[in-house]
A and B are shown apart, each in its own frame.
Chain A
Amino acid sequence: DIQLTQSPSFLSASVGDRVTITCRASQGISSYLAWYQQKPGKAPKLLIYAASTLQSGVPSRFSGSGSGTEFTLTISSLQPEDFATYYCQQLNSYPVTFGPGTKVDIK
């Protein structure tokens, strides 16, 4: 099974900050990676798919990059509504796996 790790697991930041979250896969997954945002009590929301493609309706301050085993999610200027937990997901092969999550909190 392909394992995903995320760093950091917790991030404290201020509105306007540039934030970068890293996701690493235990083996190469090409660009079969997605990023989701989840707020408390809500379903996850797709942000990025195919490692770097922005889902329709998602603000352009979100971007994704990477391929193979290392990927990043960047929020160029953190907004109040961006405080949430972020998960990466690999879709290269079954079983599908999620990273453990990165919680972005207000400094």
Chain B
Amino acid sequence: EVQLLESGGGLVQPGGSLRLSCAASGFTFSSYGIGWVRQAPGKGLEWVSTVSGSGGSTYYADSVKGRFTISRDNSKNTVYLQMNSLRAEDTAVYYCAKKARAAGNFDSWGQGTLVTVSS
């Protein structure tokens, strides 16, 4: 059974940093891309970033480019999202999701971790 477990969320002041982790199990981790999707309170889904299975390719939404960095450690079956220069508008539940190889959609999701940016 595929499982994705996010951690690292919490309260941080504007301008601060936070690192989210996504621990995966139940599939051949290095064969699949992993993405982060966020959802601000009461709002819709927003794609944030995706990393390829090897880690060699990364993609970012314009809203986080230059501030967030996605990476992965295939020896630990874990993906990270380093978030710097955080803003109030980054407040959201952050989900990690496994990317299907062929169609590219997200076929399994974690339960999410809440990031609150506030002074």
Residue positions of A touching B, CB distance < 8 A = 1, 32, 34, 36, 38, 43-46, 49-50, 53, 55, 87, 89, 91, 94-101
Q: Which residues of A contact B107 (CB under 8 A)?
A: 46, 49, 55
Q: Write the nearest CB–CB distance from B72 to chain A, whole angstroms.
A: 18
Q: Which residues of B contact A38 (CB under 8 A)?
A: 45
Contacting pair A96 B103 (CB below 8 A): no
Q: Which residues of B contact A99 (CB under 8 A)?
A: 44
Residue positions of B touching A, CB distance < 8 A = 35, 37, 44-47, 50, 59-62, 95, 100, 102-112
Q: Chain A residue with minimal CB distance to B107?
A: A46
Q: A44 with B105: in contact, given A95-B59, A95-B62 (CB under 8 Å)?
A: no
Contact of B104 (CB < 8 Å), options: A32, A36, A43, A98: A32
Contact of B46 (CB < 8 Å), options: A49, A91, A98: A98
Docked Cα-Cα span, A34 to B109, in Å, equals 14
Contacting pair B105 A97 (CB below 8 A): no
Contacting pair B45 A34 (CB below 8 A): no
Contacting pair B44 A44 (CB below 8 A): no
Q: Which residues of A contact B103 (CB under 8 A)?
A: 32, 34, 49-50, 53, 91
Q: A89 with B105: in contact, given A44-B45, A49-B100, A96-B50 (CB under 8 Å)?
A: yes
Q: Which residues of B contact A50 (CB under 8 A)?
A: 102-103, 105
Contacting pair B62 A34 (CB below 8 A): no
Contacting pair A98 B47 (CB below 8 A): yes
Docked Cα-Cα span, A102 to B78, in Å, equals 33
Q: Which residues of B contact A36 (CB under 8 A)?
A: 45, 106
Docked Cα-Cα span, A1 to B65, in Å, equals 15
Q: Chain B residue with minimal CB distance to A92?
A: B104
Docked Cα-Cα span, A34 to B107, in Å, equals 10
Q: Which residues of A contact B46 (CB under 8 A)?
A: 98
